[in-house]
Chains A and B, each alone.
Chain A
Amino acid sequence: MATMQTATEIAARVREGKQPAGEAVRACLERIEQLDGELGAFLWVDREGAQRRADAVDQRVAKGETDLPLAGVPVAVKDNICVAGTPTTCGSRILEKFVAPYEAHVAERLRAAGAIVIGKTNLDEFAMGSSTENSALGVTRNPWNRGHVPGGSSGGSAVAVAAGMVPVALGSDTGGSVRQPASFCGVVGLKPTYGRVSRYGLVAFGSSLDQIGPLARTAEDAALVLGAIAGADARDTTCLEAPVPAYADELAAPLAGTRVGIAREYFGEGLSDETRAAVDAAIGILRANGADVVDVHLPHMTYGVACYYLIAPAEASSNLARYDGVHYGHRAAANDIIDMYSASREEGFGAEVKRRIMLGTYALSSGYYDAYYARAMKVRTLLRRDFEHAFKQCDVICSPVTPTTAFAFGEKADDPLAMYLADVYTISANLAGIPAVSVPCGFDGRGLPVGLQIMGKPLAEGKVLSVAHHYQSLTDHHKKVPS
């Protein structure tokens, strides 16, 4: 089946003229037609435009262009990333009719690399959530069990890749929003180092945490996409100048001698037995193939969730102040301007977005700033130092991605704190700014995927992807396809 081709295979064949760019696009569109009515991964699919742009890629190949790392590769993009001229809703009523007037840096890069954006995927509203249940615009189902959530907030992108509707997708990760749905859906998801990928054109949520990353079925494909989207961009001043390495070459670095750190803080209370067993087995495979396993200690990790749920909502409450019904987005009928702001926001935002705006406004309000936001930013420093110290003893740190596999719809919807606490293993990488990848490492007794998280030093994307790539070459979990 053409849609089960990897991005690496598609790009090579299209560049060599062995397959027209439209072939993979057509296969993906057919698979979307067949499956997405039930799975709900996409909010919008660009049927005609995708075919047209595939023809344009063939013309570039015919003209002798060779720098097309993603030639003819269909890509799904999370609907909080602007693709010019297409809807960008953030899964929110307030942006339901918004059409992006400009192109995100990553969308420009995808286009330049020969990729074809074929649609926009569902997400928790403004990327706030861990199940995609917070989307105001549709339900997304886990392809391994349709009664379970796909994870979130990049749930649509994870489902699109897992079900073979696209080979690769983009998501955004503020506290785990690429890695957690990747884990729940059995695909690879990478959160790069903070600043590795420009956030220009990504709708802002928690600006000191947000990072765009790829989802794919293989670490090799994730590396291919990362290579195309990473690098400096003057329009995002937090974006790093560091040169982008040839990730494909770094994948081949030997696993033998790699020091794999294990921190007991990731294996404590709340971790399900089945997830622990799958992750332990995965670490066993790395060890059996030459990795040295060492114990490391991250004493402040236990404060990660508390830090995150002050910092992210504080930044969100500030970022979302722009939705006021004046320049774009939903506007409520009102008699005066203050009432228009308040009524537009009340009607336009869903419960979780309001909850975080309230929490963030509280944490930043007069009298509480030092006690909450400022203190959280300092504890964040201590957590970052924990990682710096740990990475003197190891090259990567391995852990579970989530305490449990995908939960059922509604299971946590009425208990926001329980939902937040489930982010415990992913949040630290965002707070510390380090790269982390989720790679499929097995299934629980109900057939739901389990993920292994591999974290690295700042800018060590090549290393974490290399360990993931070696792991995938030694195992078959990523080759299973949901029925």
Chain B
Amino acid sequence: MADAVTTEEVRHIATLARLKLSDAEVERFTRELAAIIGYVEKLREVDVTHVEPTAHAVGAHNVFRDDVVQPSPGAAMAMANAPQKQNEFFRVPKVLDQDTV
């Protein structure tokens, strides 16, 4: 269980969540997350031994359809909102360093 949320933890979580937070945001979220986590700790009062988790509230599971090929969006539709593209590819900044290629 967590003690008070620390700024180091918040920076670590921000890295996991791929959010480039400013220092002011780190300070603010440290305070706010501590308050919210402090509140949700009340769930510790509840005895959940032998209780199954609920995922689908009405209990549907293992829904299958026939294995038939369905039409799928073409490249033009899939690319329509691309921030940057080149031919039929999404263009992104370099993924690997020049040395490692």
Contact = CB atoms under 8 A, between A and B. Distances in A.
A309 interface: yes
A47 interface: no
Interface of A: 97-99, 101-102, 193-195, 208, 234, 237-238, 240, 300, 303, 305-307, 309-310, 317, 321, 324-331, 334-343, 345-346, 349, 354-355, 357-359, 361-362, 365, 368, 371-372, 374-382, 384, 416-417, 420, 431-434, 458-459
B54 A346 contact: no
Most buried by B among A377, A431, A432: A377
A337 B40 contact: no
7 contacts: A102-B77, A326-B92, A329-B83, A339-B20, A358-B13, A371-B1, A382-B46
Contacts of A328: 81-83
A99 B77 CA distance: 11
- Residue from B33, B37, B83, B94 with most neighbouring chain A CB atoms (10 Å): B83
A309 B92 contact: no
B18 to A, nearest CB: 4
A329 B90 CA distance: 13
A384 B92 contact: no
B52 A381 contact: yes
A346 B83 contact: no
Given A334-B93, A336-B95, A359-B37, 4 more contacts: A101-B80, A317-B17, A365-B13, A416-B36
Nearest to A430: B57
Given A101-B77, A317-B17, A342-B19, A194 B84 contact: no
B27 interface: no
B100 to A, nearest CB: 12
A135 B64 CA distance: 38
Interface of B: 1-2, 5, 9-10, 13-14, 16-21, 25, 29, 32-33, 35-37, 39-40, 42-44, 46, 48, 51-58, 60, 63, 65, 73, 77-78, 80-84, 90, 92-95
Contacts of A237: 60, 63
A384 B54 contact: yes
Contact of B48 (A336, A341, A375): A375
Contacts, number: 174
Contact of A338 (B18, B51, B81): B18
A208 B55 contact: yes
B40 A354 contact: no
A337 B35 CA distance: 34
Contacts of B36: 309, 359, 416-417, 420
Contacts of B83: 325-326, 328-331
A341 to B, nearest CB: 4
B1 to A, nearest CB: 6
A151 to B, nearest CB: 21
B33 A358 contact: yes
Contacts of B48: 375, 378-379, 382
B54 A377 contact: yes
Contact of B20 (A305, A346, A378): A346
A307 B73 CA distance: 38
A117 to B, nearest CB: 20
A328 to B, nearest CB: 4
Contact of A378 (B13, B37, B51, B84): B51
A74 to B, nearest CB: 27
A355 B29 contact: yes
Going nearest first, the 3 A-B pairs with the smallest beta carbon separation are A433-B57, A377-B53, A328-B81
A208 B43 contact: no
Contact of A354 (B19, B60, B73): B19
Given A195-B58, A335-B93, A378 B80 contact: no
A416 B93 CA distance: 36
A234 B94 CA distance: 39
Nearest to B53: A377
Most chain A Cβ neighbours within 10 Å, of B13, B36, B55: B36
Given A324-B18, A354-B21, A381-B53, A337 B80 contact: no
Contacts of B10: 358
B40 A372 contact: yes
Most interface-central of B19, B35, B42, B56 (chain A CB within 10 A) = B19
A328 B85 CA distance: 11
A307 B57 CA distance: 14
A315 to B, nearest CB: 11
A60 B14 CA distance: 53
B39 to A, nearest CB: 6
A208 B21 contact: no
B54 A337 contact: no
Contact of B43 (A99, A321, A331, A379): A379
